[in-house]
């Protein structure tokens, strides 16, 4: 039974290791550092989507719609000004034309911003000499191996073709109840009894969750950039009505999506630099198992920095979904606010009840002196 459980755990470990290595290879393409093949051509993913003919047609259709919206908003602003008389008519008309011309100007700014951003990302990657295709699986597997057998080492392990039976070898034909084997033949690549199965599962699950979260954020960013690019004229069309308040929100969110990639590149680069050092670290005076757990948590913490680095880098710019002003409240925060409001209301009700009781007692108070006579 134990042997079957060891094989099962190792198989799960190998599957997740392959997925982790695959995710690490995706970062350079999704951030725009490396090109993607599309119908035989090498393209940058974001530049290609923004410059696609279909998306351009949608943009110009939205632009025509935005012209009509600008006229409507300008008329509404003029009517409101006739009532409130708090704005200059020439200012409203000027904002109307500024919305039309600003859309054309922002179209150029957005495209140039994406091109410059991608060029800077490639430069940063060259500075760090980032290698996102690093074999993270080899580092993790080597940490969990207790003893290698028959002169094998991590260099002989090919995770694309290797199987559990290749690693652990065969087990002795002697079984319990004719079903469960009792011991290994020790003819595999590693010693099955010294492999650290629990730390292996902990590290791949923790690492996998952190990397999946980071990669999903990057994929969402691509769709959101295209969405914000297409809908940009609609936010500019509100300029005559709100003096650019909604367009300011759009601008901050767009900058956040651009900056998000820089946080990913820096986080992955730092993780790639520190990862080889972790394998050579150890703490004196503790067991091999303890040192393995130390390395595992160092790796999980480094991987968790990748999605955290995205949020942190964007938050430093004080804009978008990661800023303190617009962050989503947790359930605990919502509970505290509701609980505080409830206490405040109950306190107010208690004070009101006490006040009413005092008034009633005052009205019923018999104003007489000690002799029974009423005060005049």
Are 251 and 346 contained in the same domain? Answer: no
Domain count, the chain: 2
Is 132 in the same domain as 281?
Answer: yes
What's the pLDDT band for 83 if we cut at 50, 70, 90? Answer: confident
63: pLDDT strictly greater than 80:
yes
> Are residues 9 and 113 part of one domain?
yes
Evaluate whether residue 164 is within a structural domain.
no
Together in a domain, 296 and 341:
no
Closest CA to 145 of 135, 133, 157: 157
What gap in Å lies between CA 102 and CA 73, rounded to an integer? 16
Same structural domain, 231 and 318: yes
What pLDDT is stored for residue 12 in this prediction?
Answer: 92
Overall average pLDDT of the 190-200 stretch: 88
| Together in a domain, 228 and 98 | yes
Whether residue 243 lies inside any domain: the answer is yes
Nearest to 256 by CA among 306, 206, 323: 323
| Better-scored residue on pLDDT, 31 or 332 | 31
Range of the domain at 306: 2-143+195-322
% of residues, the chain, pLDDT over 70: 80
DSSP type of residue 375: P
Q: Is residue 199 in a domain?
A: yes
Q: What is the pTM of this model?
A: 0.69
Residue 246 pLDDT exceeds 50: yes
The per-residue pLDDT of the chain, averaged, comes to 77
Specify if 342 maps to a domain.
Answer: yes
Residue of 164, 170, 198, 197 whose CA lies nearest to 184: 170
Please answer whether residues 218 and 261 qualify as being in contact, where contact means their C-beta atoms are separated by less than 8 angstroms: yes
For the stretch 253-302, pLDDT in tens is 888 888 777 887 888 888 878 877 887 788 888 888 888 888 888 888 88
Residues 100 and 63: beta-carbon distance below 8 Å: no
* Inter-residue contact 103 to 66 (CB < 8 Å): yes
Say if residue 253 is in the same domain as residue 337. Answer: no
Same domain, 97 and 115: yes
Residues 299 and 352 in one domain: no
Question: What torsion do the CA atoms of 286, 287, 293, 294 make, to the nearest 10 degrees?
Answer: 30
Q: Which of 347, 40, 16 lies closest to 206, judged by CA?
A: 16
Helix (H) or strand (E) holding 259: helix 245-278
Q: Is 200 in the same domain as 139?
A: yes
Domain-embedded: residue 175: no
**317 in the same domain as 348:** no
Q: Tell me: do 78 and 60 sit in the same domain.
A: yes
Cβ neighbours of 97 (radius 10 Å): 13
Please give the average per-residue pLDDT across 351-373, as a whole number: 49
């Amino acid at each position: 039974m134990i042997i079957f459980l060891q094989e099962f755990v190792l198989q799960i470990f190998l599957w997740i290791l392959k997925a982790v290595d695959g995710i690490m290879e995706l970062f350079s393409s999704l951030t725009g550092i490396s090109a993607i093949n599309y119908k035989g051509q090498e393209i940058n993913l974001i530049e290609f989507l923004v410059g696609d003919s279909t998306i351009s047609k949608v943009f110009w259709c939205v632009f025509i719609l935005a012209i009509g919206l600008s006229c409507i908003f300008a008329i509404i602003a003029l009517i409101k000004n006739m009532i409130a008389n708090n704005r200059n008519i020439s200012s409203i008309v000027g904002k109307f034309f500024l919305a039309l011309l600003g859309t054309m100007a922002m179209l150029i700014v957005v495209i140039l911003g994406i091109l410059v951003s991608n060029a800077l990302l490639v430069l940063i990657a060259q500075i760090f000499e980032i290698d996102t295709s690093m074999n993270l699986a080899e580092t993790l597997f080597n940490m969990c191996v207790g003893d290698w057998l028959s002169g094998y080492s991590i260099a002989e392990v090919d995770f694309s073709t290797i199987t559990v039976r290749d690693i652990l070898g065969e087990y002795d034909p002697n079984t319990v109840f004719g079903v469960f084997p009792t011991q290994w033949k020790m003819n595999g690549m590693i010693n099955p009894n010294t492999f650290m199965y629990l730390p292996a599962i902990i590290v791949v699950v923790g690492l996998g969750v952190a990397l999946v979260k980071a990669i999903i954020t990057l994929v969402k960013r691509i769709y959101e950039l295209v969405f914000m690019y297409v809908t940009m004229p609609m936010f500019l069309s509100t300029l005559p009505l709100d003096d650019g308040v909604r367009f300011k929100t759009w601008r901050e969110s767009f900058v956040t999506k651009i900056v998000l990639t820089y946080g990913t590149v820096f986080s992955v680069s730092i993780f790639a630099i520190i990862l080889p050092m972790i394998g050579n670290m150890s703490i004196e005076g503790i067991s091999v198992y303890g040192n393995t757990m130390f390395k595992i948590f160092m790796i999980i913490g480094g991987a968790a920095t990748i999605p955290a680095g995205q949020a942190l880098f964007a938050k430093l710019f004080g804009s978008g979904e990661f800023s303190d002003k617009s962050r989503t409240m947790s359930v605990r925060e919502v509970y505290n606010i509701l609980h505080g409001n409830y206490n405040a209301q109950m306190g107010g009700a208690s004070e009101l009840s006490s006040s009413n009781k005092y008034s009633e007692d005052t009205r019923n108070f018999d104003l007489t002196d000690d002799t029974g006579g009423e005060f005049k």
